Amino acid sequence: MIRVLASDGMNKAAAADLRAKGYEVVEQFYEPEDLKKELANYDVLVVRSATKVREPIIDAAVAAGRLKLVIRGGVGVDNIDVKYAESKGIKVTNTPKASSDSVAELALGHMFAMARYISIANVTMRQGKWEKKKYEGVELAGKTLGLVGMGRISQALAKRAAAIGMKVIYTDIFEIKGLPAEYTCMTKEEVLKNADFVSLHIPASPDGSPVITAEHLAMMKPTAYILNTARGGLIDEDALVDALENDKLAGATLDVFKKEPLDNQRVMNCPKISMTPHIGGSTKEAQGRIGAEIVEIIENFFNK
């Protein structure tokens, strides 16, 4: 029997579907040293964000000789040493289409939350404060959305932003074909300087260093907002707090963090940051699509 380890959990319907098709599915998280040993018992490893599949784990799996497939349930594969795994004969894949809409909707929701002080006003009202005059916000219509990276999620967000009257500018290292003519391609620096809302949709840098540094934040308008729903560490968190505290930026959104769970007290205590605990793909619909895609990948791999 083909055994599947879902180390970060799996959609219930997908797990049931796999079991009905004759696979054994185990949902259990293991710390790295334990995971090395456990992979000797599995043909497939399914991960989300919590499990890191690095070279030592891959070496242990190769030595055991059973693991054939690693699936990342989500968009990126930053937590997997993909080239190394595939050089050792282990196939690595992901589910890039499944959560695009859910992440785009979260980003748009945060844009409204920042522009209209929804997050902080909710907190202060529960503290018994009535700060009506303090929370004069801005409208999204007529503002410019700048997208750093123009993949599936960015395009889904751009479509929604354009529908409410925002202008869309973007930057990408590749030429993206088939985009609406009204979207304008610029350099990253031009996007940062011209956008009212900057949203990041790129992988982490190879060495984990910030892609948006204090220097980049200084390029932005003091009335601008920045969002990161992509990968933790893309923005220098302390430089971001410095910019916000010194009124160099109007606000920020973070759904992902350099260290998760979040332990940066400066970020936690900054009222100008709208935060969520890495829930970009956490909708019932997205989880259903991710699960279905995982089942399809496994079926195609073992029954082609």
What's the CA dihedral at 280, 281, 285, 289 to 10 degrees? 150
Q: Which helix (H) or strand (E) holds 228?
A: strand 225-228
| Catalytic residue (one of 231, 237, 289, 293) | 231
Residue 201 designated active-site: no
Q: 56 preceded by cis ω (within 30°)?
A: no
* Strands of the sheet with 197-200, listed across from one edge: 184-185, 167-171, 144-148, 197-200, 225-228, 251-254, 273-275
Return the closest-CA partner of residue 212 out of 235, 238, 191: 235
- For residues 227-240, one letter each, b for 16 or more C-beta atoms within 10 angstroms of the residue's C-beta and e for the rest, the string is bbbbbbbbbbbebb
CA distance 271 to 241: 10
Residue 260 designated active-site: yes
| Catalytic residue (one of 139, 215, 260, 285) | 260
Strands (DSSP E) contained in 39-176 are 44-47, 69-72, 91-94, 144-148, 167-171
Cβ atoms of 264 and 242 within 8 Å: the answer is no
Residue 72 designated active-site: no
Name the token pair of 4: 């599947």
Residues serving a catalytic function are 231, 260, 278
